[in-house]
């Protein structure tokens, strides 16, 4: 049994506690938070679990083999680094840290100590996103574009922009689904509240081939939209996360090319490009709760010394893009090259 | 009665012919096309209208006071300029010309000769777009953003990119609806057919204030989308052109600000931003055919020496943005400043 | 070449004329209408086609081998019967006649004279309805129910109720798609305009097995709905005619039964009924214009002495149900048995 | 403080417990269930609440002033009657009892003892249904029809048909919203599992005026639909309970009548009926949890000796229709008259 402590019992912490409590192989040892009323709430629901407001106490506890961190982003690095240095495996909310520098140091520390470092990119454990990855691997053909819209009337935050709050989801999904990594990013956006970070933003991701990716995020939209289009040479996907059951639709649509369009005159060209319109298909999706699968994977990785789907490096790649996008947005969309992640032995 | 000749009887020309034939004050004198079978088709439907394949003959005809041009874009400038120089009023399909240089010269020629020069920005004559303009003028408050998506599996063109084919609609609508003009533009995009122009593109428009506009156009999408979000400080609009009747929805939603958020700490800040969620309202829209209204306006402008809603200058402003966006796309989204349109006495 | 005359050039007649004019094997000889301005309109578009207001003249014309009738329902019987008696093949708008007595006599006359009698049940020639029939034949399993909603804010008629105007479509589709015929019908409904026929109605169709069918039609609905659910033991269909392309969706959903539920106690029973939720699939549909296919079929049936998919008997079966439903509606839904159609040698 | 005991901690009981625990003026004294594991679950969450499997013990407890019953329908009468006879106020799940005879006796007992008897018609406490009632009272004009569709792939039950499971919601909503009571009912339906109750059903409700109501319920539908149309002489409503926020849409649509249609010939008649198409409006709805409001109302009625919106009589009226519909369904839709509810002094 892997002993686990959950740190932070605010918005998301209760979900972690509930899922760790239900995961075979895990034993929920303690919950830590600075607020007394939250700890009392834990006690009411889980009378047998230890509660504490002393994080360092957990680190000294030999029963705690892993720490799950669900605190504000600005504290991720300090808490995760302390836990790793105390020899604990770490599961941390996304984004993994406030900067790529911090994320890089967490990755290196985990590697050095041979500890599991997982970042909670929840969406990649949903049936819908797993199905998208399958389709991209086999069925879509060459991927042409990835376009996502994630907008609603949402809670304005004043420490991070809408990019860190919403685009982080799309970037973590793309990191999991796409076969290639972006080499550069640009972003535009605007703040409509004086002195506050951007509440609307558009990100472009550039790749070495002719794949193009784009993300639209907005806290100030009248309707909620969660829709991703993925175009491939053989099939195309619409992923609508607000659909109750048919979240993934696969379209057998596209163009077919015969011969070299460059050499064709107008009349001939028209004949060279064909349009293909076939069936649409909405595969049945696994509806297991994503967070449960993810936590089972985390515990399994500790048991078998494996690497989770969203490890520290995935967390780092996403933070690197968030950082570059933020920098680009401040310069009206200047393209920022994404240097490769430094290798760790 | 204003004598009118229509030039070009391909895809759009028959709509012009039908509407000019039905417009009081106009008399359809002749139709010109280079293809004999098209002229025969005109003859079958409108036996009393003269047909010809000789454009110059129309220019010499004193019965022809106005010329409507529905030919390929590359010919707009030559035909429109000849018509203006022959003293004819001109109605020309969008985009008005292939370059801002050409558009500028048409504008100047029309001004010099005191002729009406109209560009067929059809959408601005629809009930939906006219209602949007009304709402932007009175109701929306300060306009925060304008976001449009116009995608489908569409006919690939090889002489112009998707920007000139689809974004031209959004740019002409914005030109009519928004109270301010963009000062710069950037665009990214990609071609997925070797040697051909971009089939997917994203445009950013920058303004002097904190308004931001964005357009997504795509010829290779599995589903058809025609949706525009306009966010204002007091209300927000969703304009969905595929809705059969409720194309415009007005949301009484947004944020309210109390005090200066910059000076507030986290806790206080939360109290300063409020969320407003009220009724939604879909105003009844005028369903008169847009092209009919537009052609009546053109004839009326000739009769009363007035300027149409979409005059040569509007056509020029749109072409200027298309041109800059094309230039930007070739440079991964470099921002291109839009110089003011040169004044014409 | 089969010479054809079209009678009635009001709402639907022009579609018949256009399609007969385009059908290989058919030669459009004449168009007949009582209104001079309509005949003038025919002349404008089809200068070579004879126009007349004298129906009897057509019947005497040996060049006319077939007559297509698109006049008000109350005249169908008289015109169709005269044409049959003059030895002409007949294509008549739905419903085929005003009563089952009339329909029966048309069927008998056509049989006696070995003439093709077709009724224009247009929907059965659409790709969507043809696909439904295919699925019902192979894929759906045992058909459990057929449920259709056809409502909108529609033109009130004062000679026939909403049943004859709208439910006629559903009845003709069911006649084509379902493997069995109804044995009884009941209907309820209401008129909301004093002295006028019902503007809202609900029809129940009873079958010999446990299939049940239901139709909801309404001229006074705030939204337009055209949606049919067909439930089978193995698959279920949603047919939404307002969807631009995915009109037919096939769901691999349903229940599975293990053992005899009657003998099971509550606890055991729960285990006996299983739920199956699989993929959804929207087959690509043929988009050929239905009326064109139908008219080609009519001409082909004349040439090869065959029976069209919607022959006089199909028209009779539909009228018989309309008649019984009307009778039932007047008696708050009393069940009316449908006697079998009298055999014709 | 009103002491409350909740009986039945299965599917719905936990919601009652949570809401009674949160209601000012109520004190949750005990929870009763026959299953030990359910009682253990109560103890885990609410350590201070007494648990018991002895219903009679609750009835003897003077601290218990009211009993909330969330057990299977077949037990409602026995438990509620015992509670009333012990002088307890009663809140019971819908339907209030298994027969109108039982429901009648509960109503009489509550009246005799001056106790509050409430039935949990939850929907009538939602913002959407309350808004419908407001609109029916003021805005819709004369109500022409009420049409509801409530279908999905649902849990088959073997003790009651789909009417008692799903139509009960529509009947309780209609009871609250409509200004008049039905005088007769008919129903058709079918079972597709041998020996089991109907899994699809259609109900017609007849009224003394020209209002007509219809309900379609189905456990075997491939898609989930929860949609009600209400047509009035001045406005029409679409109530879609699956819409996340705009559940109620009000359409300013309909017909206008000028003069007496009966005396008009065809041509004149067309002029007499006009069509009105105006704005659509989706009012902002109260999003307070319905069950919470309902329980606060129940406690308030006890405190002030008032009658709840859904009292025993409302429960009786709904059961009377369920009973008649069941009877009608067995006779292919024979109309069953609804006798007036017997008066209770």
Nearest CB to B45: which of C45, C242, C244? C45
Kindly give the residue spans of alpha helices, DSSP state H, lying in chain D: 13-22, 36-45, 55-60, 73-85, 100-112, 127-137, 162, 168-177, 266-272, 290-304, 312-329
In three-state form (DSSP H/G/I as H, E/B as E, the rest C), the secondary structure along C290-330 is HHHHHHHHHHHHHHHCCCCCCEHHHHHHHHHHHHHHHHHHC
Kindly give the residue spans of alpha helices, DSSP state H, lying in chain B: 13-22, 36-45, 55-60, 76-85, 100-113, 127-137, 162, 168-177, 266-272, 290-304, 312-329
Triad C156, C159, C165: Cα angle to 5°: 60
> Phi-psi category of A254—alpha, beta or left, where left has phi over 0 and alpha has psi -120 to 50?
left
Which residues on chain B are in Cβ contact (under 8 Å) with A188? 186, 204, 206, 212, 214
pLDDT interval class at A340 (50, 70, 90)? low
Rg (CA), chain C: 22
Put simply, whether D47 touches A (Cβ < 8 Å) is yes
Q: Which residue has the tokens 């298309």?
A: B322
Which residues on chain C are in Cβ contact (under 8 Å) with B244? 224, 242
Triad C208, C214, C215: Cα angle to 5°: 140
Strand pairing report for A2-7 and A26-32: parallel
Put simply, whether D240 touches B (Cβ < 8 Å) is no
CA–CA separation, B58 and B67 (whole Å): 9
Task: Give the chains touching C; criterion: ≥3 Cβ pairs < 8 Å.
Answer: A, B, D
Which residues on chain A are in Cβ contact (under 8 Å) with D224? 244
Size of interface C-D (CB pairs under 8 A): 163
Put simply, whether B220 touches A (Cβ < 8 Å) is yes
Put simply, whether C44 touches B (Cβ < 8 Å) is yes
> Phi-psi category of A336—alpha, beta or left, where left has phi over 0 and alpha has psi -120 to 50?
beta
Nearest CB to B158: which of A147, A158, A269? A269
CA–CA separation, B121 and B291 (whole Å): 9
By CA distance, what is A222's nearest residue in D? D245
Predicted confidence (pLDDT) at residue C13 exceeds the cutoff of 90: yes
Q: Residues B306-323: what's their mean pLDDT? A: 98
Put simply, whether A284 touches C (Cβ < 8 Å) is yes
Put simply, whether D255 touches C (Cβ < 8 Å) is yes
Residues B221-249 have pLDDT tens digits of 999 999 999 999 999 999 999 999 899 99
Q: Which residue has the tokens 């299939």?
A: C211
B237 vs chain D: nearest CA distance in angstroms?
Answer: 14
Burial A32-70 (b: 16+ CB within 10 A, else e): bbeeeebbebbeeebeebbbbeebeebbebeebbbbbbb
Max CA distance (Å), chain B: 78
Predicted confidence (pLDDT) at residue D267 exceeds the cutoff of 50: no
C261 vs chain D: nearest CA distance in angstroms?
Answer: 7
C338 vs chain B: nearest CA distance in angstroms?
Answer: 40
What is the reported pLDDT for A339?
Answer: 78
CA–CA separation, D138 and D283 (whole Å): 14
What is the reported pLDDT for C158?
Answer: 79
A282 vs chain C: nearest CA distance in angstroms?
Answer: 5
Residues B131-183 have pLDDT tens digits of 999 999 999 999 999 999 999 998 888 788 999 999 999 999 999 999 999 99
Taking an 8 Å cut-off on Cβ atoms, the answer to whether D45 and A44 are in contact is: yes
CB contact residues (below 8 A), chain A span 257-276, against chain B: 257, 260-262, 266, 269, 273, 275
What is the reported pLDDT for C276?
Answer: 87
Q: Which residue has the tokens 């048995």?
A: C337
Q: Which range has the worst mean pLDDT, A100-109, B260-269, D140-149, D150-159?
A: B260-269
Predicted confidence (pLDDT) at residue A268 exceeds the cutoff of 80: no
- Overall size of chain A counted in residues: 345
- Judged on CB neighbours under 10 Å (0-12, 13-18, 19+), B345 is exposed
Put simply, whether A44 touches D (Cβ < 8 Å) is yes
CA–CA separation, D123 and B326 (whole Å): 56
Closest to C22 (Cα-Cα) out of C311, C257, C288, C258:
C288
C252 vs chain D: nearest CA distance in angstroms?
Answer: 8
What is the reported pLDDT for A29?
Answer: 96
pLDDT interval class at D79 (50, 70, 90)? very high
CB contact residues (below 8 A), chain D span 117-156, against chain C: 144-145, 147, 149, 151, 153, 156
Closest to D222 (Cα-Cα) out of C229, B91, B46:
C229
- Judged on CB neighbours under 10 Å (0-12, 13-18, 19+), D181 is middle
Predicted confidence (pLDDT) at residue B331 exceeds the cutoff of 80: yes
Put simply, whether A208 touches B (Cβ < 8 Å) is no
CB atoms within 10 A of CB C257: 16
Put simply, whether A252 touches C (Cβ < 8 Å) is yes
Instruction: Name the percent of chain A lying above pLDDT 70.
Output: 94
Is the preceding peptide bond at B95 cis, omega within 30 degrees of 0?
yes
* Higher pLDDT among residues C131 and C47, named by residue: C131
Predicted confidence (pLDDT) at residue A264 exceeds the cutoff of 70: no
CA–CA separation, A198 and A193 (whole Å): 8
Task: Give the chains touching B; criterion: ≥3 Cβ pairs < 8 Å.
Answer: A, C, D
Beta bridge partners of B241: none
Taking an 8 Å cut-off on Cβ atoms, the answer to whether C277 and A284 are in contact is: yes
Q: Which range has the worst mean pLDDT, C32-36, C41-45, C197-201, D61-65?
A: C41-45
Q: Give the pair of three-digit tokens for residue D311.
A: 């009292």
Work out whether the CA dihedral D162, D165, D170, D171 comes out positive or negative.
positive
Predicted confidence (pLDDT) at residue B267 exceeds the cutoff of 80: no
What is the reported pLDDT for B262?
Answer: 47
- Overall size of chain C counted in residues: 345
Helix A312-329, helix A100-113: angle, nearest 10: 170
Task: Give the chains touching D; criterion: ≥3 Cβ pairs < 8 Å.
Answer: A, B, C
Q: Residues D260-277: what's their mean pLDDT? A: 58
pLDDT interval class at D301 (50, 70, 90)? very high
Nearest CB to D45: which of A45, A242, A244? A45
Which 3 state secondary structure label does DSSP give B322? Answer: helix
Residues B249-264 have pLDDT tens digits of 999 999 887 655 444 4
Instruction: Name the percent of chain A lying above pLDDT 90.
Output: 86
Q: Provide the mean pLDDT of chain D.
A: 93
> In which element (H, E) is residue A290 found?
helix A290-304
> In which element (H, E) is residue A6 found?
strand A2-7
Predicted confidence (pLDDT) at residue A273 exceeds the cutoff of 80: no
Which 3 state secondary structure label does DSSP give D267? Answer: helix
Work out whether the CA dihedral A259, A261, A266, A271 comes out positive or negative.
positive
What is the reported pLDDT for C271?
Answer: 45
CB atoms within 10 A of CB B144: 23
Q: Give the pair of three-digit tokens for residue B205.
A: 């428009």
What is the reported pLDDT for B273?
Answer: 74
B169 vs chain A: nearest CA distance in angstroms?
Answer: 21
Residues A131-153 have pLDDT tens digits of 999 999 999 999 999 999 999 99
CB atoms within 10 A of CB B334: 17
Which residues on chain B are in Cβ contact (under 8 Å) with D278? 284
Predicted confidence (pLDDT) at residue D156 exceeds the cutoff of 90: no
CA–CA separation, B47 and B35 (whole Å): 17
DSSP string of A58-101?
Answer: HHH-TT--EEEE-S-HHHHHHHHHHHHHTT-EEEEESSS-SSHH
Do residues D251 and D236 lie in contact, with contact meaning Cβ atoms separated by under 8 Å? yes
By CA distance, what is B158's nearest residue in A? A266
What is the reported pLDDT for B272?
Answer: 66
What is the reported pLDDT for B209?
Answer: 94
- Overall size of chain B counted in residues: 345
Do residues C42 and C51 lie in contact, with contact meaning Cβ atoms separated by under 8 Å? yes
**Which of A44, A46, A221, A226 to probe the D interface (max D CBs under 10 A)?**
A44
Do residues C236 and C254 lie in contact, with contact meaning Cβ atoms separated by under 8 Å? yes
C282 vs chain A: nearest CA distance in angstroms?
Answer: 5
Q: Provide the mean pLDDT of chain A.
A: 93
C295 vs chain B: nearest CA distance in angstroms?
Answer: 24
**Which of D72, D149, D155, D220 to probe the C interface (max C CBs under 10 A)?**
D220
Predicted confidence (pLDDT) at residue A316 exceeds the cutoff of 50: yes
What is the reported pLDDT for D292?
Answer: 96
Q: How high is the ipTM of this complex?
A: 0.93
Strand pairing report for D117-120 and C220-232: unpaired
- Judged on CB neighbours under 10 Å (0-12, 13-18, 19+), A219 is buried
Which residues on chain B are in Cβ contact (under 8 Å) with A222? 229, 231, 236-238, 249, 251, 253
Taking an 8 Å cut-off on Cβ atoms, the answer to whether D45 and A47 are in contact is: no
* Nearby residues of C70 by Cβ (< 8 Å), 6 or more positions away: C6, C7, C8, C9, C10, C12, C13, C16, C93
**Which of B333, B335, B337, B338 to probe the A interface (max A CBs under 10 A)?**
B333
Residues B47-77 have pLDDT tens digits of 889 999 999 999 999 999 999 999 999 999 9
CB atoms within 10 A of CB A138: 8
Nearest CB to C284: which of A246, A277, A282? A277
pLDDT interval class at C242 (50, 70, 90)? very high
Do residues B205 and B325 lie in contact, with contact meaning Cβ atoms separated by under 8 Å? no
By CA distance, what is C245's nearest residue in B? B223
Taking an 8 Å cut-off on Cβ atoms, the answer to whether C281 and A279 are in contact is: yes
């Amino acid at each position: 049994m892997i002993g686990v402590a959950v740190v932070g019992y605010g918005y998301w912490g209760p979900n972690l506690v509930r899922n760790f409590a239900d995961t075979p192989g895990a034993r929920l040892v303690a919950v830590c938070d600075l607020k007394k009323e939250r700890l009392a709430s834990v006690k009411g629901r889980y009378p047998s679990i230890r509660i504490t407001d002393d994080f360092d106490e957990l680190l000294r506890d030999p029963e705690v083999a892993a720490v799950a961190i669900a605190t504000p982003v600005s504290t991720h690095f300090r808490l995760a680094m302390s836990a790793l240095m105390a020899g604990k495996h770490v599961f941390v909310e996304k984004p993994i840290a406030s900067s790529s520098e911090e994320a890089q140091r967490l990755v290196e520390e985990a590697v050095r100590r041979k500890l599991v470092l997982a970042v909670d990119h929840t969406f990649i454990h949903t049936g819908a996103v797993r199905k998208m990855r399958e389709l991209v691997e086999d069925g879509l053909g060459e991927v042409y574009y990835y376009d996502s819209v994630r907008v609603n009337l949402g809670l304005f935050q004043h420490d991070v922009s809408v990019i860190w709050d919403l685009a982080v989801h799309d970037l973590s999904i793309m990191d999991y689904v796409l076969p290639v990594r972006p080499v550069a990013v640009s972003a535009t956006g605007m703040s409509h509240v004086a002195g506050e970070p951007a509440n609307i933003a558009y990100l472009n991701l550039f790749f070495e081939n002719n794949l193009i990716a784009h993300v639209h995020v907005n806290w100030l939209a009248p309707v909620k939209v969660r829709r991703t289009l993925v175009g491939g040479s053989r099939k195309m996907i619409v992923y609508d996360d607000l659909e109750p059951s048919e979240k993934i639709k696969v379209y057998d649509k596209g163009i077919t090319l015969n011969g070299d369009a460059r050499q064709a005159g107008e009349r001939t060209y028209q004949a060279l490009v064909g349009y293909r319109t076939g069936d649409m298909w909405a595969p049945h999706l696994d509806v297991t709760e994503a967070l449960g699968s993810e936590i089972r994977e985390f515990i399994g990785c500790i048991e078998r010394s494996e690497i989770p789907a969203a490890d520290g490096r995935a967390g780092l790649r996403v933070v690197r893009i968030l950082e570059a996008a933020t920098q680009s947005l401040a310069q009206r969309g200047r393209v920022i090259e994404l240097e490769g992640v430094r290798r760790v032995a």
